[in-house]
Structure 1
Amino acid sequence: MSSAHSPTSPTRRTGLIVLSAFALVVGFLLAVPQRGFATEPNPSPSVHTPAIAKPVPGKRTSTGAPANTDPVTYHGGPVQDAPQVYVVWWGSQWSSGNNDPKKELFLQAYFLDSLYGAGDNWSTSATQYCSGIPTGSKDCSHAATFVGHPNSSPRVGQWDDESAAAPQSPTQGDIAAEAVKAAQYFGASGTNVQIIIDTPPGVVPSGFKTQYCAWHSVTSLPDNSQITYTNFPYIPDAGATCGAGSVPVGSTGVNADNEGVTIVGGHEYAETLTDPGAWSGWTDDTQNGETADKCAWTNMGIVTLNSNRYAVQPLWSNNANSGSGGCVKYYNSAASQG
């Protein structure tokens, strides 16, 4: 997974390979690492911690309602109307030994590549939310910009950055710096960008497994534009704490050991659509939760997305239950709930 290619301009996309599901199947896992950047993170980046919290042992439920049924409301910031996901495999550890024992990278790619078009009615829950309306609004009847639902895979870039080892316990600043480096490599910036920083097995970002499973935040590029990025540790390392074995007994079609990859990954993807600015989009004023926080660890199950089956959690919908709100695993314009 390493590369001997020479550095290129940070504004160019040279060496960027967008991997299809077929390419993953045949093992075409090459993306050119960029070397030699020296960038600094935002000195005090806003962080959403925890975006998906560690469940209390013995308290996780496979069915049930969220802690409260207050709607999410709009707080004046942007939403993602054309989401673009860039995935970064951070650290030379990815190429040593049994570097992905639970096949997280494959599953993550397949999952992201399934979040598009008519075959996905799970992430469509986010499309009821918008920007350009008065702060405090609960619906989007007069919206300027709605959350977008892609017509093809939202995963538009992949980078295997093995220019150095990832720190054994990276801080938020370390992860933000890698996100800035990745944004420069891809030539990506703006509200619609999501950069996912995948850390290798055995690397434990500060707080992982004890305080959170993953989180998303924003940081600034040198030109003062902002990007949204996700700290995505090696989720199977956390076992049941971060989702392994969460789907009710009797469900089929997924590997229990890595169910958390799509439960947690879907959580972060959906929240970044509706709140890319981290607390400036759609949140619940009472419990300060985003659309996935309100339904975390409840009624988890299997959904079929473009003919592939994945473990997911439901997402909060203000429109569900005739406008009284609720957690939904599938959604359409008629506010279907399941």
Structure 2
Amino acid sequence: MRLTPHKRLRRVLATSGAVLLLGLVPALAEAPGALAAPHPTRPGSYSAAAPTLHAAPARHRPGTDQVSYNGGPVQHSPVVYLDFWGSQWDSDGNGVQPYMTSLFNGLGTSQDHWSTITAQYPDSSGSGPAFTGPVLGGSWVDDASPAPASSQQQDIAAEADSAAAHFGVAGDPDAQIVVMSPSGTSPDGWPASGFCAWHDYTGSVSYTNMPYQLDAPAGSRCPNNLLGDKLSAFSIVEGHEYAESITDPQPSSGWLDPSGEEIGDLCESNFQNVTLPTGTFPMQPLWSNNGGGCVISG
């Protein structure tokens, strides 16, 4: 989520008696180009929190209130479109494309009890998200030219609009474009900016800025190689943005807590494997008003 293009918030999470500052690249450092100077992270981003792994349900930070509705849209029948941006993807050898395709071919199916956590969050019509089959609407490698080595927010939004035009979904309120940047690139200052990913709205389509998670430097705390899965950051981080894009596709007009945080922001810990028809994927819990806390199924 983004409240304004560069407004940022600081968040804290109490875990086993210790307080972790979410979004901080090692030792309280994450300012773009100046890793020694801490600053609050982008709202609605998956922040670079230190991972915690427990079998028990995740706990929200002390004092968190329920999320509440702010009058804007939610996605009723979410459809995800994967945009692999740049010719660099023609030679990616880490299996990211089939991994992401398998993830979204599994989400939305009858075996998916994770996405259904979002069903409790309707819009003003009283209708909320519903899932009747795989949410993947399509996958495209936009390889006419290389993705830029360093892209800005407006560049990422323009690529999302290009992908929406390619898929024919510009103006579709249920569409999500996931702009997958290739290895070796720095979208919106990543990884020095202190987020692992973020989502926003171009004016015609909801979209996510998804950096190449395996490029996160050692100690950056984006959740790579967790629960026995080398690509875990892609499912954990993109799952976070997918769920928030459902419940707040035009930030910040959907479902938020009093601090402006979304249902993924409140639960960035206690990652667990979720089994789908297409495989098993590490995921994070999501905030549930019904459950009064962070849950892994709904």
Give me the TM-score of the superposition, normalised by structure 1: 0.71
* More deviation, 111-120/233-242: 233-242
What's the counterpart of residue 274 of structure 1?
247
The structure having more radius of gyration, on CA atoms, is 1
Give aligned-pair identity as a percent.
38
Q: Distance in 2 between matches of 1:302 and 1:114?
A: 13
Q: Distance in 2 between matches of 1:91 and 1:306?
A: 30
Q: Would you say the 8 A contact 1:45–1:217 is kept in 2?
A: no
What's the counterpart of residue 174 of structure 2?
192
Please tell me the residue identity of whatever aligns with 2:239: G
Aligned with residue 169 of structure 1, among 137, 150, 155: 150
Aligned with residue 114 of structure 1, among 82, 106, 112: 106
1:246 to 2:226 alignment: yes
1:67 to 2:61 alignment: yes
1:159 to 2:126 alignment: no
What's the counterpart of residue 202 of structure 2?
219
Please tell me the residue identity of whatever aligns with 2:145: A
What's the counterpart of residue 208 of structure 1?
190
Q: Distance in 2 between matches of 1:245 and 1:156?
A: 27
Deviation at 1:130, TM superposition (A): 0.5
Q: Distance in 2 between matches of 1:245 and 1:52?
A: 17
Instruction: Report runs of 4+ in structure 1 exceeding 4 Å deviation.
Output: 44-50
Deviation at 1:246, TM superposition (A): 3.3
Q: Would you say the 8 A contact 2:151–2:187 is kept in 1?
A: yes
Unaligned runs of at least 5 residues, structure 2? 8-41
Q: Distance in 2 between matches of 1:46 and 1:60?
A: 25
1:261 to 2:240 alignment: no
What's the counterpart of residue 23 of structure 1?
none
Unaligned runs of at least 5 residues, structure 1? 1-43, 133-142, 221-225, 248-253, 332-338
* More deviation, 262-271/206-215: 206-215
Aligned to 1:216, the other structure's residue is in SS state strand
1:228 to 2:211 alignment: no
Deviation at 1:235, TM superposition (A): 1.1
What's the counterpart of residue 327 of structure 1?
294
Count of paired positions: 253
Q: Would you say the 8 A contact 2:187–2:211 is kept in 1?
A: yes
Q: Would you say the 8 A contact 1:91–1:161 is kept in 2?
A: yes
1:305 to 2:272 alignment: no
Q: Distance in 2 between matches of 1:278 and 1:46?
A: 13
Per-residue displacement from partner, 1:117-158 (whole Å, max 9, x unpaired)?
3200011100011000xxxxxxxxxx5221122x22111122
Per-residue displacement from partner, 1:87-142 (whole Å, max 9, x unpaired)?
111112222xxx3232111111100110123200011100011000xxxxxxxxxx
Q: Which structure has greater strand proportion?
A: 2
Alignment of 1:70-85 (within 5 A): 70-85=65-80
1:123 to 2:115 alignment: yes
